[in-house]
Structure 1
């Protein structure tokens, strides 16, 4: 990792112009990217939106970059074309302490997606801040996710507080859900918080998703 300037365990000042961070998107039409040293929270309103995001993010990662899917449940096993993804690793953790330890073992500048974050034991603000510190120090693209079928659309900030403890610590807060009508699919995205250079992405987005969903459903059925 040549361009990323890691944080250290003491106050430090840097010039933003000196940093060139790489970012990844699950697919081209996604409203914003996820960059090195960032911490993002994603809420999935259904299993299909989760599968679309996970397959997309795994498929879009450059071959030289490690990608890790870890958590207590909901990991994405290699199948079909993803079976040849050499740098995809799956791991189980069951508490926030175990997650912190695991983050110290992954390769620097990797992409780490945590499935089922709110199911981890011993979640607390101190542990969450520690995960943020590790993401900064190691240049990780860290994405914490949770899937829920009972989302309160009228109070999304409270949903993020319930599942992710401290929303203000995150660079991005994103909700994803899918719907279908007469065999056509759309991916609906709500962005509550985004990095300052991506504030134009705030708000609601609806993306036609037939080209994403249909190959995925075919792959799952095979």
Structure 2
């Protein structure tokens, strides 16, 4: 079947990684997130998982490390958390067929998966839509060209126009205080006003990663 219709939801479920994050992720969405440093990646991923765990299952697909110890500090329970690794886009597509509908799925280092093509990106978008997923494709970039972010997203995600959210996250610190600096290039319709640059304090959010015993 080439196309399908379904009733439009007036109040679709949303997930926010941080209270001060300028955009919420709607159900059925695909997000492309690029991290310019590791602290930005860990804060975003772990707090997004903690935020979503209370509402249902969360799937973390590596390769990429995840600290269950930190998540136990951030969440009442991690019993809804499932983790696994995918190294090819075929393995990722198979995993997405197994996840529960309306769940959060975080895929780390997506551009490094073998055999990724534009056709795969279309299928990922279709799967997220049909299953009502919160699908977040992430990648840490140590050589990000800040002067051509649209070009960077094109290289990393192939069809960035299909994504509901495109954002770059970086952290900065000054005299012991940390901030997350966010550039939103594309946002869901209700959050178009959030396209642009934002900076939010993350001292308490970063603490579990900076003060380990």
Contact kept in structure 2, 1:25 and 1:57, CA below 8 Å: yes
* Other-structure match for 1:123: 116
* Other-structure match for 1:190: 183
The CA deviation string for residues 75-131 of structure 1, in whole angstroms up to 9 with x for no partner, is: 313114528411111111101111111000011110000000011000101111111
Contact kept in structure 1, 2:29 and 2:135, CA below 8 Å: yes
Moved over 4 A (4+): none
For the residue of structure 1 that corresponds to 2:54, the secondary structure is coil
Gaps of 5+ in 1: 1-8
Contact kept in structure 2, 1:172 and 1:195, CA below 8 Å: yes
Task: Give the root-mean-square deviation of aligned CA atoms.
Answer: 1.5
In structure 2, C-alpha distance between the alignment counterparts of 1:74 and 1:192, rounded to whole Å: 25
Aligned residues, how many? Answer: 210
Mark the CA change 1:152 to 1:81 in structure 2 (over 3 Å): closer, same or farther.
closer
* Other-structure match for 1:77: 67
Query: 1:12 Cα deviation (Å)?
Result: 2.8
In structure 2, C-alpha distance between the alignment counterparts of 1:121 and 1:81, rounded to whole Å: 29
* Other-structure match for 1:46: 37
Query: 1:21 Cα deviation (Å)?
Result: 1.2
The CA deviation string for residues 15-53 of structure 1, in whole angstroms up to 9 with x for no partner, is: 53x443101111110001111100010000000000100
Choose which of 147, 154, 174 in structure 2 pairs with 1:154: 147
Query: 1:62 Cα deviation (Å)?
Result: 4.3
Alignment of 1:58 onto 2:49:
yes
- The equivalences for 1:84-99 within 5 A come to 84-99=77-92
Contact kept in structure 2, 1:70 and 1:93, CA below 8 Å: yes
Choose which of 58, 71, 74 in structure 2 pairs with 1:67: 58
In structure 1, C-alpha distance between the alignment counterparts of 2:139 and 2:87, rounded to whole Å: 14
* Other-structure match for 2:104: 111
- The equivalences for 1:145-184 within 5 A come to 145-184=138-177
Mark the CA change 1:81 to 1:123 in structure 2 (over 3 Å): closer, same or farther.
closer
TM-score (norm 2): 0.93
For the residue of structure 2 that corresponds to 1:79, the secondary structure is helix
Contact kept in structure 2, 1:63 and 1:86, CA below 8 Å: no
